A and B are shown apart, each in its own frame.
Chain A
Amino acid sequence: MVERTLWFILCLCLTALPLGAQVGSVEPVESHLSHKQIGLDETATLTITIRGSSDLMDLPAPTCRPQGLQIVSVGRSFSMTSINGVSQTSTDFNFLVTPLQKGRFVIDGINVSVNGTSYTTQSHRLEVTDALGYRSQRSRTPQANPGYSPGGLFYPRRPSFQQPAPQGDDFVLEAELQPKTVYKHEATTYSLRLLAARNLSQDPRYSPNTPTGFVSMSLPQTNSMEERNGRNYAVTEAKTLFFPLTEGDYTFPAQEIALQSGGYFSPVQRLTTLPQVLTVLPLPSEGRPTSFTGAVGESFEISASVNKTSVKVGQTIELRVDVEGDGNLELVPYPSVTPPTGVEKRQRDGTSNTELRGEQIHSQRTYIFSLKMKEPGTFHLDDIALSYFRPSRERYETVKAPGITITVDQGQQSEESSIATGELPEADRPAPTQGPLVKSKFHIPLSSFLASLLAGLLGIALCLSGRPRLSIGGWSPPWASKSRPKNLQQLEAALRDLAPGTDSITRLAELSDQGWSESDVERFETLKSAVSQLSYGSTPDSNVTVEQLLSDFENLKSGEKNS
């Protein structure tokens, strides 16, 4: 019986384990790709959702294998939900995936650090097929993606809202999508308005829920007053611009907001809007220029410049193409740049800036290309253009940059040979070997400086303590050595050390202070006189030698010490 009970408990634990794991397995980092298969003329969105951290400001764009997709960041959106008093933050980083060629690609995961823990996002496979030819039917199924959020608190307004405020209601929530039919890449504005006739006890709680397949941009929230049905309402309005990436019918789900008024313990009131349907038309194929790369807007300007107009064969120049206009250039991977024969084009990084002017988007983007000049001659870059679809006139228009002329001279022999052998320029040449494998240290600790300086100072001190005394600027250290003099100069210095006075009376006083007897002082003076005479070569007694004087000095000193 006991054994059976134990088995039962064990089985219960084993069953509970995976359940517990499931409950706790809310991944803080998730990624979602809007499509698994797209045409060459379509784009997909990759959304990386970070939960539980509002700290992350930026994520690097994922890479793909093999090359053939352009993945650029198109902004981030932040949302905060509160359930039973527990707040959860969520940040969506959106990337626009534009195919540059046909094929099967793998979009690699990226490493993300959330609250000190590293996570790697899921990798995705994407198949790029032939261009779909801007098909006329509008039958794309909307894809719900609760993780994708537009980033504002609320949304739009304007004349015809679908939920007029019922008479007497204290709070009204309205949603509107304007316009309801747009072309691909053309902006539509989703507005959410909260009308409040009474004060709220706390901020309304709102969790945005929108379909995927859009790039969004929030407009600043506005506050105003409005009279409706004889009542005054405080109106809070939030708008978001949505740029559809593919044609089809899309449903913006009903938005719900939770409010509390009339005190902390009053019941929570929930308001909902009606769902909104958006029809995204394909861009017309009639009159579409070959240079069209996806720009949609009312007007664009283009200009181009190069860093050098005269180069040698094999050299590379940088071409900058600046495009500016009333449309979202984040959705335009590149303008049309057709290099002449003998010039190899390669797209590099660039910069972009998007801003709102009123309720219109205005963007500026710089595309940078490397042009490798492979043949000598004069080249005219006069085919730099941006074609865009203008929705108000329902037609395509093209702007062209003024032409640029580049002169390419015959390069030197070494450059020619390097081109012939396919060798890369020095700036692009990789390190062929691994090189050093051990990292060096560079910081020198203070102790090393101190030890070296102390050793040096000790050396200097020792040098200064020898005899004859060395002095720097007349200074010599007090510990200078008083060892035996070995020659006439050292003997002179030693006598001077004993009594530095310049005349005999001063010296008598100095030596008497040191306890010398009168006879010793007399012997000192005799010795000093003999040393002076010998050093000046005027010795009266030719038998006197330096050795005798040195001996006399030692005797004098030892006698003095003994006395």
Chain B
Amino acid sequence: MSHRFYHLAFFLLLSITGALAQQDFPELVSALESQDGSYALKLAQKLESQEELSFGLFYNKGLALRDQGDLPQARAAFERALTYSPRDLATRRRLREVKERLNPQIAENDVVGTPLWSRHEAESALLLLSLGLLALGLARLAGREITGKQIIAPAGALLLVAGVLWAMNPAPDRAVVTTTNSKLLAKPEGSSQGQALQPGLMVNVLERKTHFLKLETGDGRTGWVREAEITRI
């Protein structure tokens, strides 16, 4: 009897916790609507710590951070929102505004950003074109007449698509520099000597050693920074 009671209490507690977490998102939206950025940020952090991750969470967190004046963190939040919905126009607009406020020239040193397509979409496009070419070849083997133009068109499309995807292929691990005074250190050791990193800059993460990460910037510089100085996308 008592076991049954404890199970019931446990499930009740679980469902209450879940329901409370679900209530936080509407509260976050209303906090932003009433322009209470500080409270909205608090709620966003709470949802994030509860692993209630979603496009809406990061978009709204980006708005709250932007309103609080924390532009590097705002950029990181919008970039994370894009990873959930890469073709969301509002997110791309907010991101562009934040980048312009950070520094209009920041894009020059950025690494490749989030493309409009996901990996699955890109791979599907490549597969479709290559299978089309393969089908033409098999038809030709079966004795069907295939003209040169019929081959050149899909082959050219395949090369074009592959070239665009290659040029806009982001690194598997990226991050945004979210602190001022970050420096690219030569070694993964405590030091204050190094090239300065602009806050809000997007970088590729190459390697990790203890709490240091090896980064690569868009202009080809590499070095180590502390993990706390960046936000992974």
A→B interface (CB under 8 Å): 53-58, 60, 63-67, 108, 112-116, 346, 348-350, 424, 426-444, 448-449, 451-456, 458-466, 470, 472, 481, 486
* Cβ–Cβ contact B118 & A55, under 8 A: no
Q: B17 within 8 Å of A by Cβ?
A: no
Contacts of A455 in B (CB 8 A): 127, 130-131, 133-134
26 example contacts (A-B, Cβ-Cβ < 8 A) are as follows A57-B182, A58-B179, A63-B41, A67-B38, A67-B39, A346-B35, A349-B68, A430-B63, A431-B56, A434-B56, A435-B54, A435-B55, A435-B56, A439-B84, A440-B119, A442-B118, A444-B119, A444-B122, A448-B122, A452-B123, A456-B154, A458-B134, A459-B151, A463-B146, A465-B140, A481-B141
Knowing A442-B115, A462-B141, the reply to whether A112 touches B228 (Cβ < 8 A) is: yes
CA A314 to CA B151, docked complex, whole Å: 57
CA A466 to CA B142, docked complex, whole Å: 9
* Cβ–Cβ contact B59 & A60, under 8 A: no
Contacts of B195 in A (CB 8 A): none
- Which residue of A57, A108, A115, A431 is within 8 Å of B29 (Cβ)? A431
- Which residue of B69, B148, B180 is within 8 Å of A58 (Cβ)? B180
A contact face: mostly helix, strand, loop, or mixed: loop
Per-residue contact bits, chain B 107-118, to A (CB 8 Å; 1 contact, 0 not): 000000011011
A450: min CB distance to chain B, Å: 10
* Cβ–Cβ contact B33 & A437, under 8 A: no
CA A464 to CA B137, docked complex, whole Å: 8
CA A350 to CA B119, docked complex, whole Å: 39
Question: In chain B between 56 and 77, which residues have their CB closer than 8 angstroms to a CB of chain A?
Answer: 56-57, 59-60, 63, 67-71, 73
**Most chain-B Cβ atoms within 10 A of its Cβ — which of A67, A434, A454?**
A434
CA A299 to CA B133, docked complex, whole Å: 77
Q: B50 within 8 Å of A by Cβ?
A: no
Knowing A443-B171, A443-B172, A466-B140, the reply to whether A436 touches B119 (Cβ < 8 A) is: no
Q: B184 within 8 Å of A by Cβ?
A: no
* Cβ–Cβ contact A66 & B36, under 8 A: yes
A460-B133, A470-B148 known, 11 other contacts, Cβ within 8 Å = A348-B69, A432-B56, A435-B85, A443-B169, A444-B165, A452-B130, A454-B130, A455-B134, A458-B134, A460-B151, A466-B146
* Cβ–Cβ contact A462 & B134, under 8 A: yes
B contact face: mostly helix, strand, loop, or mixed: helix
- Which residue of B70, B138, B155, B211 is within 8 Å of A113 (Cβ)? B211
Knowing A444-B122, A462-B134, the reply to whether A449 touches B166 (Cβ < 8 A) is: yes
* Cβ–Cβ contact A440 & B29, under 8 A: no
User: Which of the four size classes fits the interface of chain B?
Assistant: 35 or more
Among all A-B residue pairs, the 10 with the closest Cβ atoms = A349-B69, A462-B137, A116-B211, A459-B133, A113-B228, A435-B55, A57-B181, A434-B54, A455-B130, A452-B126
- With CB as the reference atom, state the residue of chain A lying closest to B183: A57
Q: B218 within 8 Å of A by Cβ?
A: no
A463: min CB distance to chain B, Å: 5
Knowing A435-B85, A463-B146, the reply to whether A430 touches B60 (Cβ < 8 A) is: yes
**Most chain-B Cβ atoms within 10 A of its Cβ — which of A63, A430, A442, A460?**
A442
* Cβ–Cβ contact A115 & B211, under 8 A: yes
A320: min CB distance to chain B, Å: 13
* Cβ–Cβ contact B180 & A57, under 8 A: yes
- Which residue of B25, B68, B73, B84 is within 8 Å of A438 (Cβ)? B84
Q: B176 within 8 Å of A by Cβ?
A: no
Contacts of B35 in A (CB 8 A): 346, 424, 428
* Cβ–Cβ contact A463 & B84, under 8 A: no
Per-residue contact bits, chain B 25-45, to A (CB 8 Å; 1 contact, 0 not): 100110011011111111000
- Which residue of B57, B71, B122, B134 is within 8 Å of A456 (Cβ)? B134
Question: In chain B between 200 and 233, which residues have their CB closer than 8 angstroms to a CB of chain A?
Answer: 210-211, 226-229
* Cβ–Cβ contact A113 & B54, under 8 A: no
Contacts of B92 in A (CB 8 A): none
* Cβ–Cβ contact B136 & A459, under 8 A: yes
Contacts of B192 in A (CB 8 A): 54
B122: min CB distance to chain A, Å: 5
Contacts of A470 in B (CB 8 A): 146, 148, 151
* Cβ–Cβ contact B119 & A443, under 8 A: yes
- Which residue of B42, B126, B211 is within 8 Å of A63 (Cβ)? B42
Contacts of A439 in B (CB 8 A): 53, 83-84
Contacts of B132 in A (CB 8 A): 459
Q: B106 within 8 Å of A by Cβ?
A: no
CA A461 to CA B93, docked complex, whole Å: 45
- Which residue of A65, A350, A440, A456 is within 8 Å of B155 (Cβ)? A456
B96: min CB distance to chain A, Å: 11
